[in-house]
Amino acid sequence: MEDNKLAVGLDIGTTKIVAMIGRKNEYGKIEVVGIGKAKSLGVKRGVVSNITQTIQSIQQAVDEAESVSGVKIDDVVVGIAGQHIRSLHHSDYITRSNADEVIDEDDIEDLVNQVHKLVMLPGEEIIHVLPQEFKVDSQADIKEPIGMYGGRLEANFHVVVGQVSSIRNIGRCVKSADLGLNEITLEPLASASAVLSQEEKEAGVALIDIGGGTTDLAIFKDGIIRHTAVIPFGGNVITDDIKEGCSIIEKQAELLKIKFGSAWPGENKETEIVSIPGLRGREPKEITLKNLSKIIHARVQEIIEHVYLEIKNYGHETAKGKLIAGIVLTGGGSQLKHLRQLVEYITGMDARIGFPNEHLAGDSDEILSSPSYATAVGLLMVGLEKDIKVEEVEEVVEEIISETNEKEVEEIQPRVVEKPKPKKKSFFEKFTEGLKDFLDNAE
């Protein structure tokens, strides 16, 4: 595999749009060669609301990343979030026509394709079908059924559903910015791959990504994604509350939140006051930090309670569903002072702030390991991973061919060569292809 394989993650957020170009170094860590960011003007609550402005912001971020890195960007991995995302659980089965042969990837693909035929609400489309445990005949809790014998193959699925129009709008923006769409991934899944360790996913963990417009949740247990949800408010509603509560303009509210904001009102004294310049010729405003943190506390508490309700719905309080590794907070909103303590207080679970630095090369710029870049790093990882898997399989095939004689090649080759790509992604590629066709025809 060539060493300089580049991939690009494009995080279309409510506050900012980030384009991140990177490759893997010889230690398998990610080396970011260029990053560009632009203020996101056409996105509300994770959903594109103004196509023209979003295209401009994407182009601005991409141009900046290109000029920093000296690399031309062709195609990108894009994240999707927004209030229209919902997830459901579904179990399905197939009866295999030939029980004398072992279960192979075709059987799993047939099963996954069957789930794709589920009838959704009008205007909704399935984004991901993620198998959880399989059941072969009457044997349950099988992680990997390939290679086993059995007549009936059954599985529980985690199905992520989104609005067709929102997904197409994102595709339209990317295409109009002269970029190819390599893949679309659910943002909480991307953030999870950037900040969670395999041990945490095994033990059980809830990842809370507090963005500008939405708060994304992904729950893992036994190494498998169990629940995803997108809560339609994030850091922006905190800023709006400060703006309303203190009668100041948005820019000042955002600065106040970042510089002096705290999610824990008990720690500010009545005497701590910030003076804010008044508008043109008006008197400056004086705001006590205690009042500021009360406003922030009320809103943050509401966000956390919404998320905690989702965690309880998943079944955190049952013995089987216990999340031993607790909560990991990431995203720009996780940098709010004393947020971790408030989360631990409300949920009674351990919490930590998740930085995406575990997968980054040691000499990376410090800014990149900020929680607000977790999604972009995750999308970049998805892009790099995708190509590695294909190439690794091709290398294995070549080795097999060189080591075996003609007759065996005929038996082995079709099984490996036909499906170099991992099966679980196959639908996504079909979905992305379908989206590309749709966009091409739309012109």
C-beta of residue 89 within 8 angstroms of C-beta of residue 157 = yes
Say if residue 371's pLDDT is above 60. yes
In tens, the pLDDT along 3-37 reads 568 999 999 999 999 999 999 888 888 999 999 99
Q: Which residue, among 214, 190, 164, has the nearest Cα to 44 in the 3D structure?
A: 214
pLDDT of residue 283: 87
Q: Which residue segments constitute the domains of the chain, with CATH numbers given? A: 198-357 (3.30.420.40)
d(CA 354, CA 207): 9
The structure tokens listed for 129 are: 């079908």
Say if residue 411's pLDDT is above 50. no
Give 307's pLDDT tier (boundaries 50, 70, 90). Answer: very high
Q: What percent of the chain has pLDDT over 70?
A: 86
Give how far Cα 98 sits from Cα of 95, 115, 308, 408, 414, Å: 9, 21, 46, 23, 19
d(CA 206, CA 217): 7
d(CA 426, CA 443): 26
Q: How many CB atoms lie within 10 A of CB 391?
A: 13
* Overall average pLDDT of the 75-102 stretch: 89
Query: pTM score, two decimals?
Result: 0.82
In the block, residue with structure tokens 């008990």: 266
Instruction: Look up residue 172 and give its amino acid.
Output: R
In tens, the pLDDT along 172-203 reads 999 999 999 888 888 999 999 999 999 999 99
The structure tokens listed for 302 are: 């509401």
319 Cβ contact list (under 8 Å, min separation 6): none
Give 433's pLDDT tier (boundaries 50, 70, 90). Answer: low
pLDDT of residue 271: 80
Burial (CB count within 10 angstroms: exposed 0-12, middle 13-18, buried 19+), residue 227? buried
In tens, the pLDDT along 94-123 reads 999 888 889 999 999 999 999 998 888 899
